[in-house]
Amino acid sequence: MEHKDAKQIDAKGKDYRTLNKEIRESVNDGINYITVKNVLGHRFIADGIKNRTLRISIFGVAGGDLGAFMDGPTIYVRGNAEHAPGNTMSSGTIIVDGDAGDCVGHSMRGGKIFVKGSVGYRVGIHMKQFQERFPTIVIGGSAYSFLGEYMAGGIIVVLGQNCTKPVGSYVGTGIHGGTIYVAGVVDDNDLGVAASKKEFTDEDRDIVSALIDEYNHHFESSISIDELTFTKIQPSSKRPFSNLYTTEG
Amino acid sequence: MCGIIGMLNKDGKRIDGSLIAEGLSLMDERGNGQGAGYAAYGIYPDFKEYYALHVFLDNLKEAKVDVEQEIERWGYIVYSEEIPTSEKGTIEGEKIPYRYFFKPDPRKLLGREYNEQDAIVEMVMRINAKRSGALVFSSGKNMGIFKASAWPEDVARFYKIKKYKGYMWLGHNRYPTNTPGWWGGAHPFGLLDWSVVHNGEITSYGTNKRYVESFGYNCTMLTDTEVVTYLFDHLIRKHQLPLGLTGNALAPKFWNEIDALDPNVRDVQTALRLTYSAAAMNGPFAIVVANTNGFIALTDRIKLRPLVVGSKDKTVYVSSEEAAIRAMEPSLDRIYNPLAGEPVVHQLEGHAQ
């Protein structure tokens, strides 16, 4: 049934500028539910849109920088996403019912990203938190190397479903804030400079459990925290490179 | 940035260039209109025993006379013509693409210590180093490179690439950053039947250039990717390294990763790293390198540039972006991101390593 605040857009044959203009104009016209079909690598979808009630469903492969700088909307991708979905997003939710490329949540400063499958390199690079802004990324499958590189805040959860190794090497290289939770074993050799394993407490369990519930809700899955053993990774110190360019400290 | 793409029909089935152009054009955002090109294998079956020299000529007078004099010092021209193009004058800085089907003459190589392929390499290096208004940018058998300083779709139209049928195609969309955008700087780069497309920078260019120059190669295209072509030619054709090990030599593992390997593998990787330290490529890169038998795709060891591989039946696709592969084949059997520095090798049936 077609609601008057719903709209369907066909991306086939359209350049990404045309598509994004159409989405933006629809939002300005008061449309709240947008379905975009035949998306094939269209970049920058919903970038910078500030709107807490907007819902966008994407069918196809979402191009790079999906939802960059966005503030509020919920995007559901029925397919895969290319590089850097949620780049510097402020708030809102991105749900990818497939895999995603490198740099998911690059410099993310708020909101949530859920990826059902696996993700590429440098996921969560430069994520940060400030006051009420607190970014979260949940990955169902595995993440390649440099997960949480230079991470400064927020949470990354890797559930490691259907894979042999949940994370690659150099996990949390240069991390100085935030927490990475990995279901499974993380070899000490795979920790990056500045990252350390910490005790997984009851408080951590509550946080991760709530995020798993949310993941299950989005993807109609039934993962239980009781079946998983988490490794918690945090910064070794707040200033891991204080001696890199100077001799003080 | 730059966009790279490739496809191989492992059963040798030939298709025209419109599909690869469609995939590449989907990544227009990765370029800036200052360079694009295609390499196609299997396109000259009627001339397959001759080297197909694709040459940019500045004019059809002295530049042409000059290059033909040089070519005829090494053998004889079987057939030559202007490469058919459309819409003359639509691309900036236009050169005249010309092709020669050429056979080296053993009598003219008498007394020299090298074989036919060495002779082609030396001839190409001599022509390009002289810079007399002619530039050989493709010199393999039954293959050819088509490139210009323009957008992917314009280059495809300019060279009418849908009229060529190949079993393997590579494509490149350039966004020049550190070196000028010009016809000779467009990718693919080629030598003999090698072709190379590259996204990124070879920050070790100086070291690599000195290394290949010590073996007689000349870097004349004013950009880093050229050296990759000569590294592959040298390591594979001259040193006879397998493709996979060549990938390891050029994108070596970190020492701590090598130390963690099984002893046999560790010794091989250690030897490669020590032997080829001046050939190892540093910096962010994703490349696809092809020869008559197939291709190798490779990224730098910390994956600073993207690479996606897909397959459907007997066809393999590789690209900077997933969407470009899906534009060529919507229903894939498999699609994945290879690990950093992991050589992805695919060859024609009957040519497996």
3-state secondary structure chain A: CCCCCEEEEECCCCCHHHHHHHHHHHHHCCCCEEEEEEEECCCCCCCCCECCCCEEEEEEEECCCCCCCCEEEEEEEECCECCCCCCCCCEEEEEECCCECCCCCCCCCCCEEEECCCECCCCCCCCCCECCECCEEEECCCECCCCCCCCEEEEEEECCCCCCCCECCCECCCCCEEEEEEECCCCHHHECCCEEEECCCHHHHHHHHHHHHHHHHHHCCCCCHHHCCEEEEEECCCCCCCCCCCCCC
Q: Is A82–B322 a contact, with Cβ atoms under 8 angstroms apart?
A: yes
For residues B75 and A213, give the distance between their C-alpha atoms in angstroms, rounded to a whole number.
74
Q: Point out the residue among A43, A61, A145 whose CB comes nearest to the CB of B326.
A: A61
Taking the C-alpha atoms of residue A91 and residue A50, their distance in angstroms, rounded to an integer, is 9
Q: In chain A, whose CA is at the least distance from the CA of B324?
A: A41
Min CA distance, A41 vs chain B (Å)? 5
Cα-based torsion angle of the residue sequence B112, B118, B120, B121 in order, rounded to the nearest 10 degrees: -120
B167 to chain A, minimum CA–CA distance in Å?
Answer: 25
- Choosing among A82, A104, A146, which should be mutated to test the B contact, i.e. which has the most B CBs within 10 A? A82
The answer to whether the CB atoms of B322 and A144 lie below 8 A apart is no
pLDDT tens digits for A63-96?
Answer: 999 999 999 999 999 999 999 999 999 999 999 9
Residue B4 pLDDT: 97
Tell if the CB–CB gap between B322 and A120 is shorter than 8 Å.
no
List CB contacts (< 8 A) between A40 and chain B.
26, 323, 326-327
Confidence at residue B91, expressed as pLDDT on a 0 to 100 scale: 81
As beta bridge partners, residue B7 has B169, B317
Instruction: List CB contacts (< 8 A) between B306 and chain A.
Output: 83, 101-102, 120
Mark yes or no for CB contact A41/B260 under 8 Å: no
- Counting DSSP H helices and E strands in chain B, the numbers are 10, 18
Nearest Cα residue in chain B from A119: B337
For residue B27, give the DSSP letter.
Answer: T
Q: What values do phi and psi take at B221, rounded to 5?
A: -95, 5
Task: Choose the mutation target among A44, A58, A61 for the interface with B, i.e. most B CBs under 10 Å.
Answer: A61
CB atoms within 10 A of CB B312: 17
Q: Which domains does chain A have, with CATH numbers?
A: 6-235 (2.160.20.60)
The reply to whether residue A40 touches residue B326, judged by beta carbons under 8 angstroms, is: yes
A41 at the B interface (CB within 8 A)?
A: yes
Whether residue A124 lies within 8 A of chain B, CB to CB, comes out as no
| Structure confidence at residue B89 (pLDDT) | 64
Residue pointed to by tokens 């440098």? A122
Residues of A in contact with B152 (CB under 8 A): none
Q: How far is B303 from chain A (nearest CA, A)?
A: 7
Instruction: Quote the ipTM score.
Output: 0.92
Q: Which helix (H) or strand (E) covers residue B9, if one does?
A: strand B3-9
Residue-level pLDDT at A245:
67
Asked whether the beta carbons of residue B323 and residue A101 sit closer than 8 angstroms, the reply is no
Cα of A71 to nearest chain B Cα, Å: 25
Best of A169, A187, A190 to disrupt the B interface by mutation (most B CBs within 10 Å)?
A: A169
pLDDT single digits (tens) A148-192: 999 999 999 999 999 999 999 999 999 999 999 999 999 999 999
**Strand intervals (E) in B110-251:** 134-138, 143-148, 165-166, 168-173, 189-191, 194-200
* Under 8 Å between Cβ of B21 and B131: no
Distance from CA of B254 to the nearest CA of A (A): 12
B236 secondary structure, DSSP code: I
Q: Give me the residue from A80, A83, A145 closest to B306, CB to CB.
A: A83
The CA distance from A10 to A3, in Å, is 17
Nearest CA in chain B to A190: B257
Looking at residue A249, its pLDDT comes to 45
Mark yes or no for CB contact A80/B260 under 8 Å: no
What are chain B's domains?
Answer: 3-347 (3.60.20.10)
In chain A, the residue whose alpha carbon lies closest to the alpha carbon of B301 is A145
Beta carbons within 8 Å of B74's beta carbon, 6+ residues apart: B102, B104, B105, B108, B109, B119, B120, B123
The answer to whether B51 touches B141, Cβ cutoff 8 Å, is yes
Cβ within 8 Å of residue A164, ≥6 positions away: none
Determine the residue of chain B that is closest to A60 in CA distance.
B323
**Cβ-contact A36, A59 below 8 angstroms:** yes
**Cβ distance of A121 and B327 shorter than 8 Å:** no
Q: Which of A5-14, A238-247, B18-27 has the lowest mean pLDDT?
A: A238-247
| B254 CB within 8 Å of a chain A CB | no
Number of C-beta neighbours around residue B94 at 10 A: 16
Per-residue confidence (pLDDT) for residue A239, from 0 to 100: 72
Distance from CA of B34 to the nearest CA of A (A): 20
Encode burial over B16-25: b for 16+ CB neighbours within 10 A, e otherwise. bbebbbbbbb
Residue A1, pLDDT > 90, answer no
pLDDT in tens, chain B (353 residues): 799 999 999 999 999 999 999 999 999 999 999 999 999 999 999 999 999 999 999 999 999 999 999 999 999 999 999 999 987 667 877 899 999 999 999 888 777 767 899 999 999 999 999 877 999 999 999 999 999 999 999 999 999 999 999 999 999 999 998 888 889 999 999 999 999 999 999 999 999 999 999 999 999 888 899 999 999 999 999 999 998 999 999 999 899 899 999 999 999 999 999 999 999 999 999 999 999 999 999 999 999 999 999 999 999 999 999 999 999 999 999 999 999 999 999 999 987 55
Which residues of B are marked as active site? Answer: 2
**How many CB atoms neighbour CB B114 within 10 A?**
12
Q: In DSSP terms, which residues pair with A180 in a beta bridge? A: A156, A233
pTM of the model: 0.94
B350: left (phi over 0), alpha (psi -120 to 50) or beta: left
DSSP state of B188: P
> Is some CB atom of chain B closer than 8 A to the CB atom of A38?
no
Task: Give the pLDDT score at A247.
Answer: 59
Q: Six-digit token pair at B172?
A: 């490149």
Binning pLDDT at 50, 70 and 90, where does residue A11 land? very high
User: What are the DSSP calls for B145-181, one per residue?
Assistant: EEEESS-HHHHHHHTTGGG-EESEEEEEE---SSS--
Give the N- to C-terminal CA distance of chain A in Å, as an integer. 65
Q: Does B327 touch chain A (CB under 8 A)?
A: yes
Edge-first strand order for the sheet with B294-299 is: B189-191, B194-200, B285-291, B294-299, B344-347
Contact across the interface for A144 and B324, Cβ inside 8 Å: no
State phi, psi for A73 to the nearest 5 degrees: -65, 165
Contact of A69 with A49, CB cutoff 8 Å: no
| C-alpha distance from B306 to closest chain A C-alpha (Å) | 8
Both tokens of A10, joined, read: 């066909």
pLDDT reported for residue B94: 85
The token pair at B308 is 């996606």
Q: Mean of the per-residue pLDDT values for chain A?
A: 95
